[in-house]
């Protein structure tokens, strides 16, 4: 017999929230984009966000080192990669997990784009937010990222230096054209406190990124100082955001602004 309408039980399906992508971008390399991506992932995790981390810097991956997961190898299940875990058990994937250490990649754009697709379309489980460390500049990977993977937002990192700022505005126009909102601008390497005399100097100038944020009508999310400890801990696979103190606070403050 066919059950009446009222007898049909509604099967509760566990609705999974769609995976949102936050692209961390900069116009040029060496401004601290990878450092910020790792620390922001850790800070968001500390705030209770189910966060994952993708290293989209296919040619110069650094997240495996920053997150202390260099010796891990992802497996494939049902044709999807299963992420490895880094600091604080954050799920993550980087090209560094797939290629032999120190081996240069000589891929053309489309191959690199496919590789990025595999990292992003991996089995992310209940991850809600994927922090994606973008390669510097505005090339093929960046285009494929904004067109195919549709980030929910982009965060721009810059040093206070003029050249880095000009490049940052170029990166912004890539996202603008694709309709990806700029969630904010972070100034990195702002202010250096001399470990000997304590005097604070500004090797790369001061306040530039805040101006750019103003010009773009994007929120200025904060400054991270240039500090030996940040470099040391990053190299050791122990992101400062996982600890205590002023540097952890600086990253936590940015993460809080993003979750508000």
Binding site for ligand ADP (CB under 6 A): 26, 29-35, 62, 188-189, 224, 226-227, 230-231, 234
132 in Cβ contact with 36 (< 8 Å): no
Q: Does residue 34 have a known ligand-binding role?
A: yes
* Angle at which helices 208-216 and 162-177 cross, to 10°: 20
Q: Residue 79, annotated ligand binder?
A: no
29 assigned binding-site residue: yes
**Minimum Å distance from CB 16 to ligand ADP?**
31
Q: For residues 134 and 244, what is the distance between their CA atoms, to the nearest angstrom?
A: 27
Nearer to ligand ADP, 199 or 260 (CB): 199
**Closest by CA position to 97, among listed 112, 86, 110, 108:** 86
Would you say 125 or 243 has its CB closer to ligand ADP? 243
Smaller CB separation from ligand ADP, 32 or 91: 32
- Give Cβ neighbours of residue 84 (< 8 Å, ≥ 6 apart): 69, 72, 73, 74, 91, 92, 93, 97
To the question of whether residue 103 is assigned a binding role by annotation, the answer is no
CB of 126 to ligand ADP, least distance (A): 28
- What the block records as the tokens of 88 is 């604080």
* Helix axes 140-148 and 162-177, enclosed angle (nearest 10): 40
Is 33 part of any known ligand binding site?
yes
Backbone torsions φ then ψ of 33, nearest 5 degrees: -65, -45
Minimum CB separation from ligand ADP for residue 226, in Å? Answer: 4
Q: Which residue is associated with the tokens 């030996």?
A: 228
**3/101 with CB nearer ligand ADP:** 101
Quote the least distance from Cβ 123 to ligand ADP, whole Å.
26
Residue 221 Cβ vs ligand ADP, minimum distance, rounded to whole Å: 14
Q: Is 28 annotated as a binding residue?
A: yes
Instruction: Read off the tokens for 119.
Output: 């990292």
Q: Would you list which residues are annotated within the binding site?
A: 27-34
Q: Would you list which residues are annotated within the binding site for ATP?
A: 27-34
């Amino acid at each position: 017999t066919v059950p009446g309408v009222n007898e049909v039980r509604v099967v509760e399906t566990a609705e999974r929230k769609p995976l949102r992508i936050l692209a961390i971008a900069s116009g040029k390399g060496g401004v601290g984009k990878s450092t910020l991506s790792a620390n922001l992932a850790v800070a968001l995790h500390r705030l209770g966000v189910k966060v994952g981390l993708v290293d989209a810097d296919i040619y110069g991956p650094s997240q495996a080192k920053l997150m202390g997961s260099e010796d891990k190898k992802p497996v494939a299940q049902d044709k999807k990669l299963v992420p490895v875990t880094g600091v604080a058990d954050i799920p993550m994937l980087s090209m560094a997990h797939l290629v032999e250490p120190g081996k240069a990649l000589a891929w053309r754009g489309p191959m690199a784009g496919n590789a990025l697709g595999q990292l992003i379309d991996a089995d992310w489980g209940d991850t809600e937010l994927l922090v994606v460390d973008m390669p510097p500049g505005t090339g093929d990977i960046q285009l494929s990222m904004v067109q195919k993977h549709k980030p929910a937002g982009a965060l721009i990192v810059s040093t206070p230096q003029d050249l880095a700022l000009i490049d940052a505005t170029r990166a912004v126009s890539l996202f603008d054209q694709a309709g990806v909102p700029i969630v904010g601008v972070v100034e990195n390497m702002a202010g250096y406190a001399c470990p000997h005399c304590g005097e604070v100097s500004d090797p790369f100038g001061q306040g530039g990124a805040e101006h750019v944020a103003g010009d773009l009508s994007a929120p200025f999310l904060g400054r991270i100082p240039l500090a030996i400890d940040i470099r040391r801990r990053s190299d050791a696979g122990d992101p400062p955001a996982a600890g205590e103190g002023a540097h952890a606070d600086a990253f936590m403050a940015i993460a809080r602004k993003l979750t508000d």
